[in-house]
Amino acid sequence: MLPTGQSTAAMVLGIVSMVLVLSCYGALIALITSPIALGLGLAARRKVERGELGGHSQAMAGFVMGIIGLVLSLILMAILVFAVSSLYSLEEEDTVDHDPGYSDTYDAGTATHPLTGNPRAQLA
């Protein structure tokens, strides 16, 4: 029996999902297209087994690529969330003043002699 629209749609969406996973923003779209390819592939496989549709290979390809696209996009999104959160936490650590005696500016009124520690000692 010849392939039908549902089998072909599952395969095409599976291919689109695999291509979209290659980019960061595409991984977000692949989170939508992969489950659709997975569902269409599963429904088409069941109909092919009952003899209602043709295109077993295309339905199987859409099903498998839907699973792979979904797993890869979830992994990529988890990596991106981890990377962004770790960068954000590094920025917060840079703004925290860990040493209360540390200052970015030099105040000559509170300067101390480097050897004696006396604030009024003059350097010779």
| pTM of structure | 0.66
All residues at 6 or more sequence positions from 121 whose CB lies less than 8 Å from its CB, including other chains: 112, 113
Q: What is the pLDDT of residues 23-32, one digit of tens each?
A: 878 888 999 9
DSSP label of 1 = -
Residue-by-residue DSSP string for 69-109: HHHHHHHHHHHHHHHHHHHHHHHHHHHS---TT--SS--GG
**Tens digit of each residue's pLDDT (9 = 90 or more) over 70-123:** 999 999 999 988 988 888 777 665 555 555 555 556 555 666 666 676 666 555
